[in-house]
Chain A
Amino acid sequence: MITIVNSNNIHQFGPEMEQVYKLRNQVFVQEKGWANLARPDNREIDQFDNADAVHMLCLIDGNLVGYQRMLPTTKPYLLSSVYPQLCEDELPNDSTTWEWTRYAVLKEHRARGRILSPVANHLLSAIVEWGLQNNITSVVIEMQPLWLLRLVQLHFRVFPLGIAQVIDGEEVLAVQAFFDARTLSRLQEVRGNSVPSITQISSMVG
């Protein structure tokens, strides 16, 4: 389901990464209307799509249906460089904490009635699987406070980093969410199986 693309293997994923930029354009520029991200070539790429970024692609038969990007907090990241006002405490800056950004699911794969969709579940599970393998214990999220309960119910231990503010007409709260093996069990319980979500499509990946 989920393939991890980083600077080591990105050269093998040219066509898939093109789908990424297209999906991001569709979700963030067209649907959400974040006009400042719009580019003439209709690919949504920003300064954080650099060698440190870890891209997580949810592919079904080679087609991209979901995506998210992880950024290390030891380098400049969205919260530290674009939205520092959302953080009242010290900005997270350590190798065990990464920022979760650009979460996007193709319209057809979003669940009805706002239930956690299978694609959403796999994307979240992939963060936890990847984290457990790489000594990463928490993610920084800029999120709508509306979804706090859901994260807590999934056994993320969520801590606000500041107070919620309205940005581009949407309420945004910066949080740090810690996870562990219990979080993964919970996600697996919710989706009804414990199949690993990360299924690398290339064996070349180190």
Chain B
Amino acid sequence: MKLQETYDMVLRFAICQTEEQVSQIALKEASRFGVDYYFAGTIPPEDSTPTQQLEHVIGGSWPSGWGERYFKHNYLRTDPTIEHVRSNNSPLIWKNLEKSPRFRNVVMDEARDFGLNHGITIPQFSLDGVKIGISFAGQNMDIADPKLQTSLTVIGAYTVSSILRVLQRNYRSEIINLTEREREVLYWISEGKTSRDISAILSIAKPTVEKHFTTLQHKLCAQNRTHAVAEAMRRGLLR
């Protein structure tokens, strides 16, 4: 990918106002590698219902009929690309799955019948620390092109960030587990109490209160007390 080419592409993504425009540019940019479809999303838990699975979609689409079939047969559980994004950080070229017999399965075989002969799935981390999978696929994809992997990673990153920008959506890390004590400390901070006050209320040493707060701060990725409380409210940890 030449610098000038990328520069033009970045500009085209930057002026997008809708998800459709972003998808259109993504496919146009990726088409030079023979890509017909792209699909991006976060990874749903294994036991998700189809409705829950849809909430994890960020953008893109699959050939008509494939999505329906995928949900109907609950392919999420056996889809090797999903498993790959969960446990790996490097891109997966679908063809390489053929080498490992345990991944030879009905999902990838049937995908081929829908024109998804070749594909690549690329893991990325969002700003919120959520793992995102971006897949590009097509009937005649040139998977031997040495530039394919890097170029599609770059196109994928701009595609996802543009969609999140136009939708004003943020993917927060799903679950933050607070201990009972951390919850108590957080509650009293939100009530405007100082560390000294809290140590008296909870009958624990002041340094212990501060230790709990430091852990809280890390978990919430907060800069200070005000930020921690705001973050906790946003995530529904404080009522």
User: Which of A's residues lie within 8 Å of B, judged by CB?
Assistant: 89, 109, 111-118, 144-154, 157-160, 162-164, 171, 173, 176, 190-193
**Central interface residue in A144, A147, A152, A159, by most chain B CB within 10 Å:** A152
**Is A193 touching B227 in the complex (CB atoms < 8 A)?**
yes
Contact partners of A171 in chain B: CB under 8 A: 89-90
Find residues 125-165 in chain B having any chain A CB closer than 8 Å to their own CB.
125-129, 132, 146-147, 149-151, 153-154, 156-158, 160-161, 164
Complex-state Cα separation, A155 to B125, whole angstroms:
15
**Is B127 touching A153 in the complex (CB atoms < 8 A)?**
yes
What per-residue 1/0 map shows which CB atoms of B208-239 lie under 8 Å from chain A?
00000000011101111011001100000000
Q: A148-B154, A149-B124 are in contact. Are A159 and B6 (CB under 8 A)?
A: yes
Q: A153-B164, A160-B150 are in contact. Are A113 and B129 (CB under 8 A)?
A: yes
**Is A147 touching B125 in the complex (CB atoms < 8 A)?**
yes
Could you tell me the dominant secondary structure of chain A's interface residues? mixed
A to B CB contacts below 8 Å, 27 in the list: A89-B3, A111-B129, A112-B218, A113-B176, A114-B173, A117-B218, A118-B223, A145-B122, A145-B150, A145-B153, A147-B124, A148-B157, A149-B126, A149-B127, A149-B157, A150-B125, A150-B127, A153-B126, A160-B1, A160-B6, A162-B150, A163-B147, A164-B149, A173-B153, A191-B223, A193-B223, A193-B227
Which single member of A118, A146, A154, A163 contacts B127 (CB below 8 Å)? Answer: A154
Min C-beta distance of B132 to chain A, whole Å: 7
Min C-beta distance of B30 to chain A, whole Å: 15
Min C-beta distance of A183 to chain B, whole Å: 13
